[in-house]
Structure 1
């Protein structure tokens, strides 16, 4: 069930009303109801995969108790490894089996040896990468003593399957989300209003920005051999906005819907395209995933301590695994490797955490230095997105190659996809960037204090709603990160 579908437009109000008017008297009823509706939400795609998420929930609930109540440290570690191996085993089979088999065969074919293999017709369960990492964080944190084991199976099942963030995050930590299921929720008007604002902004990001860009991005990347370098550069920039609007839009909707039900989820994006270097970008982009890798892989590997070789090794491990997490394609691995390469100079010179402060806090306009830093960082990330978006590494290389060798073949204005219909999108993008820049140091872009006068806020909401309505298509466009 997509957030931007007609099904969800009926689903959410019904669930909201039943949750607050029928289940509001009893905490257990609230949690049981959330499990029930979350399974409906998830099973809307394919009910068969409900067995997988139920099994994963039951396994980690049992193993969490074993980990916490076992005195012998070696046995406790055995239960932890069991959780890690089983969860990653499911993820590896469904997501990476065909990739490894095909890559193994291709390596033999590359050497001139005929090696035929048969792949399986495997359907990737929606959201498996997200809820797998979420349950793993629980098992690891119980082992580390950061959280007590869950004793109520209903609360734990609700934590794993909580529908707003089930299929595309944010990847919540058990230390943050699980305790919220232990306490009865009482309707909070201010929280619900802030949630509604986030939902509205999330739909604007998805429908107006992401889906608007997708119309041109799909054409340019599918037919890149026909286009000039200005159009190819433009396509890469549009995809940067598409993936940001798509994923940040989903996250904002998820956080907003959660607030309607009395829950607080972690922030997942913090105006990443205003970053002044790659290090800052990765502190602002997909925060729930980057901090997950930091806490559960990078720091255990040694982090930024030790020799420079260890630092370089750890950075490449993190970025390449992060790329591989996104999908079973060499394009994602190259994308991760490129980000590691761009990050290394900062790490080696101990400048990877240079920018932890607000962006131009005392001035509306950035300084010349800040402006060029932002432009340079955006250029680097847009370049890496070419590999992320392309079907194969060869396509990505050809795309980049044609940027440099095809500059005189056509001009942007004469390319067949660039016509008058793109002007509304360009206007929306300009307004989007200006609006984000204005709010760059605010925790919420749609907070109640965004404008001094209420009529200005409501005017903004009205204009946003109109723009969303005008850009709604007959068929809901799926979110990019659903495939991960």
Structure 2
């Protein structure tokens, strides 16, 4: 079920009414409703994979209880390994089986020993990378004695399958989300209205920005051999805003929807395209995944406490893992490696923790130095997204070589892309709103830069009107991160 679908527009208010007006005084019944609703939400895509979620839930629920009931270090370690093997094994089979098989066959063929390939037609379960990481963090935290296990299977099932963030995050920690299922929740009007504002902004990002950018980005990337440098650069720019509008839009809808039900999820995007270096970018982009790798991979490896070579090794490991997490393709691995290369000079010069505050937060406005730093960081990001979007490495390299041609500085032929200039104007307006709202949790949080209430309501109506006018009503386009 897509957030930007008629199905969800019916599903959400029905669940909301049952949750608050029918079961509002019974916490266990509310949690059970969340589980049933979440399984219905996920099963709308493919009911066969509900067993996979139920199995992952049961494994980590039982492992958690057993981890807390024994003090034997060997047994505790075996239980943790069992949880990791099952979760990573399921993820590896569904997501990486054919990738490893193809590369295994290619390696033997290269050495003159061709072997028969037996690939499987495996359907990748939507969101498996998200809920797998969420359940693994639960077992790891219990093993580290940072979290007490729950004995409430319904509450734990609700934590794993919570429908707003089930298929594309944020990847919540049990220490933040799970306790919220134990606490009585009272309807908060201000929280709900703020959640609706965030949902509205997320829909604008997805339907107006991302989906329209996707149309041009797909045309240019899929026919890149026909276009010259400036047009290919335009395609890369459109994809840059497509993936941001799509993924951060999903996160906004997920977080806003959660607030309608009295839950608070972590911020997943903090205006990353206003970053002044790549270290700041990665503190602001897909925060739930970045912090997951930091806490469960980077710090256990030694983080930045070792010698220079160890620090470089650790950075490469987490960025390569991040790339591989996104997909079974060498393009994602190269994308991860490229971001590691961007990051390492900042680490070596001690500048990786330089920009912790929001840009231009001192009240003195944006300086020329900060503006140039933002443009430089954004340019590096646009370049790396080419690998992320390309079908394979040959496509990525061909795209880049054609883009850096002698026609790169020429104006694109906009006559080939009707509506592209209008979209660029919409993106400019979108960036202005995000810039003005960059100190909040999302772009239109409170609209504090608009002083009068009537003007704020006019802004909401303008956003709704833009969704109606510029939205693609003939086709609901899936969110990009459903494939991960």
Normalising by structure 2, we get a TM-score of 0.98
Report if the CA contact (8 A) 2:414-2:420 is conserved.
no
- Determine the structure 2 residue equivalent to 1:447: 445
SS at match of 1:300: coil
Superposition map of 1:154-303 within 5 A:
154-303=154-303
Mapped partners of 1:320, 1:377: distance in 2: 20
Residue segments in structure 1 that go unaligned for 5+ positions in a row: none
Aligned residue pairs, count: 482
Q: CA deviation at 1:406?
A: 5.0
Mapped partners of 1:222, 1:412: distance in 2: 20
Mapped partners of 2:378, 2:433: distance in 1: 18
- What's the CA shift string for 1:13-34, capped at 9, x where partnerless? 1111111111111011000110
Mapped partners of 2:298, 2:482: distance in 1: 26
Mapped partners of 2:394, 2:26: distance in 1: 57
- What's the CA shift string for 1:206-239, capped at 9, x where partnerless? 0011001011000000011111101111111111
- What's the CA shift string for 1:107-138, capped at 9, x where partnerless? 12233432221100100011000000000010
Q: CA deviation at 1:418?
A: 3.0
Mapped partners of 2:355, 2:429: distance in 1: 26
Mapped partners of 2:369, 2:93: distance in 1: 48
- Determine the structure 2 residue equivalent to 1:435: 433
Report if the CA contact (8 A) 1:87-1:132 is conserved.
yes
Q: CA deviation at 1:365?
A: 4.4
- Determine the structure 2 residue equivalent to 1:53: 53
After TM superposition, the structure 1 stretch with the greater mean CA deviation from structure 2, 363-372 or 126-135, is 363-372
Report if the CA contact (8 A) 2:315-2:344 is conserved.
yes
- Determine the structure 1 residue equivalent to 2:43: 43
- Determine the structure 1 residue equivalent to 2:127: 127
Superposition map of 1:266-415 within 5 A:
266-363=266-363, 365-405=365-405, 407=407, 411-414=410-413
- Determine the structure 2 residue equivalent to 1:475: 475
SS at match of 1:208: helix
- Determine the structure 2 residue equivalent to 1:93: 93
Mapped partners of 2:212, 2:222: distance in 1: 16
- What's the CA shift string for 1:296-337, capped at 9, x where partnerless? 000000001111000010000000000000001110000000
RMSD of Structure 2 on Structure 1 (CA): 1.3
After TM superposition, the structure 1 stretch with the greater mean CA deviation from structure 2, 252-261 or 442-451, is 442-451
Q: CA deviation at 1:163?
A: 0.2
- Determine the structure 2 residue equivalent to 1:461: 460
Report if the CA contact (8 A) 1:195-1:256 is conserved.
yes
- Pair 1:424 & 2:415 matched: no
Q: CA deviation at 1:442?
A: 2.4
- Determine the structure 1 residue equivalent to 2:104: 104
Report if the CA contact (8 A) 2:131-2:160 is conserved.
yes
SS at match of 2:306: coil
- What's the CA shift string for 1:114-168, capped at 9, x where partnerless? 2221100100011000000000010011111111101110000000000000000
SS at match of 2:445: coil
SS at match of 2:8: helix
Normalising by structure 1, we get a TM-score of 0.98
Mapped partners of 2:256, 2:8: distance in 1: 14
SS at match of 1:405: coil
Mapped partners of 2:238, 2:43: distance in 1: 33
